Amino acid sequence: MHALAVDGVSFSYDGHTPILRNISLTAGRGELVSIVGPNGSGKTTLLRVIDRILLPSSGSVSIGDVPLARLSRVEIARRMAFVSQFPFSVREIVLMGRAPHGRGNAFESAADRGIAEEMMQLTDVAHLADKPVTALSGGERQRVFIARALAQQPEILLLDEPNAHLDIAHQIDTFNIIRRLKARTGLTVLSVSHDLNLASAFSDRIAMLTCGSVVASGTPADVLTAERIREVFRTDVGVDRHPDGLSPRVTLRPESAVGTPENGRAS
């Protein structure tokens, strides 16, 4: 049984123009699956459907063997987290991740505060705990939202560009934190990424989207070929083996664009 299963999901914002077309993918317990593809290919829309922010026009999403349609919003939140943004202090935002586990308004127990502090330390934002999030840089805010999601202690974590605004050190730190939590807790992660090399280095599997459909799914080596990247992203790249010998490495070539892909308008 898969931790998360997307079965034949389609979606349209206007009821006519398909943004997602018959998407099917799975993620096992403790697995990191990256979702890659050009702008407008439906990556973020897919995450929103998976989190039931948007309802699919057809198909279904299941956690384990339970369709999300059978679960309440609170039940979904106890099992799945999605990085999002709120205008509060850092500590308040991270503590919000504990809300699904509380009773009524009494969710700020000593244990909850301890978990929040641990996740702030892990993501290097503990020193910002009393600052309003509006006073933070883009990279600091991104780490706060990741800490909030981790404080939720979900079974499934959905990440929409988790490395956005982060410097190189914090990009690596973020994925190493996720890797440790995967190993320790069996956390399942779906991560939308525009960085093919980060996706290659940290993913167990990659699903590549274009025009709202999955065109390739498999290991990084299976999916990230020069031919497929040229076809989907309309740009020439070099693909070789990273010096660590474990993952493919994508190298950009100047003036390599060969046209504009015909994608939908989803983000």
Give per-residue pLDDT as tens, 4-40.
999 999 999 877 889 999 999 999 999 999 999 998 8
Asked whether the beta carbons of 248 and 221 are under 8 A apart, the reply is yes
Quick one: which of 225, 94, 235, 118 has its CA closest to 177?
118
Domain that holds residue 51: 4-257
Asked whether the beta carbons of 157 and 81 are under 8 A apart, the reply is yes
Beta bridge partners of residue 33, listed in sequence order: 190, 205
CA distance 107 to 121: 20
pLDDT in tens, 79-122: 999 874 455 678 877 887 787 776 544 446 788 889 999 999 99
Residue 113 placed within a domain: yes
Residue 186 placed within a domain: yes
Residue 207 placed within a domain: yes
Residue 262 placed within a domain: no
CA distance 149 to 157: 7
pLDDT above 80: residue 256: no
Residue 11 has a pLDDT of 93
Residue 31 placed within a domain: yes
Residue 77 placed within a domain: yes
Contacts of 213 (CB under 8 A, 6+ apart): 20, 21, 22, 23
Whole-model pTM: value is 0.79
Residue 266 has a pLDDT of 52
The CATH number assigned to the domain holding 132 equals: 3.40.50.300
Residue 80 placed within a domain: yes
Per the structure, the count of domains in the chain is 1
Task: Compute CA 195 distance to the chain's CA centroid, rounded to the nearest angstrom.
Answer: 12
Residue 267 placed within a domain: no
